Amino acid sequence: MRPPPATPSPIVGETVLELRGISKSFGALKVIDDLTLHVEEGEAVGIVGPNGAGKTTMFNLISGELLPDAGSIEFDRLVIISNPSYLRARRGIGRTFQIPQPFNGLTVFENVVVGYSFGNVDAGGEGHEQCAEILRATGLLPRANDAAGTLTLLERKRLELARALATGPRVLLLDEIAGGLTEHEVDELVELIRSIRAGGVSIVWIEHVVNALLAVVDRLVAIHYGRNLIEGNPHEVMSSPQVREVYLGIEE
């Protein structure tokens, strides 16, 4: 895929999200092992790793679908491990899922209203104007009154973004949102994510479409077997011997 042209990065600020020594096991299988991660205000961080590395489990721990066995998760310098997922959303952690999960029987507009009404701590009334603006920004306004179950894959991915944005996130977790899209659709998605970030939302993006990541993120974190492997400049991380060995089996 042709990487989209680079755009200036927003100025990043203080740490808004931090994982400290997080671990998670399912029976005898340790999926996350003493993992650390920090995300600064306004920063875009990419997460890479082979299948089974623990990437989605890490998102489930951040968003509250799972509880860690050890370690700490802080948001705005407050420990949030005891917070249920809905409260984390209201604090400002939004996410999308690798497989879109819309309410298929509701319209596109109603799906976004649900996100606004139940996830946004600043929600006043039903937020119809705000939801319409989110649909406009994500290119879904023409489909607002259509059932979500009739959307194409790209449109369902956009609806995942729209519903997450309706919660008013400060940190947005993107889980392989470019998967299954054509090159042109990926380019459109990259531009949309850039515009979201330009609005001040921090991004944490798990993705196997590496060119899309490299067009957006400031820093890349590689994990393997639930552990930190390497992090830093995105191009340097992807060309590092550690990542080449993990992904390609190439020892240098």
Query: What CATH number is associated with residue 177?
Result: 3.40.50.300
Examine residue 101 and state whether it is found in any structural domain, yes or no. yes
Mean pLDDT of all residues in 13-37? 96
pLDDT at residue 250 is higher than 90: no
Examine residue 3 and state whether it is found in any structural domain, yes or no. no
pLDDT one-digit tens code per residue, 123-157: 555 688 999 999 999 999 999 999 999 999 999 99
pLDDT at residue 172 is higher than 70: yes
Residue 181: phi and psi, rounded to 5, are: -90, 155
d(CA 202, CA 83): 20
Mean pLDDT of all residues in 221-241? 96
Write down the pLDDT at residue 127.
82
Examine residue 50 and state whether it is found in any structural domain, yes or no. yes
Percent over 70 (pLDDT), the chain: 90
Number of domains composing the chain: 1
Examine residue 109 and state whether it is found in any structural domain, yes or no. yes
Q: For residues 59 and 203, is the Cβ–Cβ distance under 8 A?
A: no
Mean pLDDT of the chain: 90
pLDDT at residue 95 is higher than 50: yes
Mean pLDDT of all residues in 15-21? 97
d(CA 204, CA 239): 21
Examine residue 6 and state whether it is found in any structural domain, yes or no. no
Examine residue 63 and state whether it is found in any structural domain, yes or no. yes
pLDDT at residue 251 is higher than 90: no
pLDDT one-digit tens code per residue, 50-82: 999 999 999 999 999 999 999 999 999 999 999
pLDDT at residue 246 is higher than 80: yes
Mean pLDDT of all residues in 209-219? 95
Report which of 172, 19, 36 is spatially closest to residue 92, judged by C-alpha positions: 172
Examine residue 180 and state whether it is found in any structural domain, yes or no. yes
In terms of residue numbers, what domain contains 85? Answer: 15-248
Give the confidence band of 3 by pLDDT, cuts at 50, 70, 90.
very low
Examine residue 7 and state whether it is found in any structural domain, yes or no. no
pLDDT at residue 18 is higher than 80: yes
Two tokens, residue 248: 């390609």
Write down the pLDDT at residue 247.
76
Q: Tally the residues of the chain.
A: 252
The model scores a pTM over 0.75: yes
- Token pair 């989209």 is at which residue? 4
